[in-house]
Amino acid sequence: MHEISLAGGILKLVEDSARRENFRRVRLLRLEVGQLANVELRALQFALEALAPGTLLDGARFEFDEPPGQALCLDCRQTVPLPERGTPCPHCDSYRLQPTGGTELRVIDMLVADD
């Protein structure tokens, strides 16, 4: 379950931001986790909640945006929806698809407090 190490990296990013921006806690953390990012959202939320006590994330609310997968078909040159890796192009049945969206894992924004 690599979501635990991802949650640790997110916590480090938040701590680094807190040092730079001088805040003491996060009330809301909003993340973008693309459909093709190979991240289980419930496991990531569980890991964040497990790491939160005693940190800047203690008591924070977590929200997740999940942009859909998208790809460019290298054979028919169409941009197509890609609900999961290994799915063929719906236009030409080719498996030569280059993901162009839905692979992201990033912090979108945070609502912070200095108390």
Q: Model's pTM, two decimal places?
A: 0.86
SS3 sequence, the chain?
CCHHHHHHHHHHHHHHHHHHHCCCEEEEEEEEECCCCCCCHHHHHHHHHHHCCCCCCCCCEEEEECCCCEEEECCCCCEEECCCCCCCCCCCCCCCEEEEECCCEEEEEEEEECC
pLDDT at position 48 is 97
Average pLDDT over residues 10-24: 96
- Domains in the chain, ordered, with CATH? 3-113 (3.30.2320.80)
Q: How far apart are CA 103 and CA 17, in angstroms?
A: 24
- Over residues 55-112, the pLDDT tens digits come to 999 999 999 999 999 999 999 999 999 999 999 999 999 999 999 999 999 999 999 9
| pLDDT higher than threshold 80 for residue 19 | yes
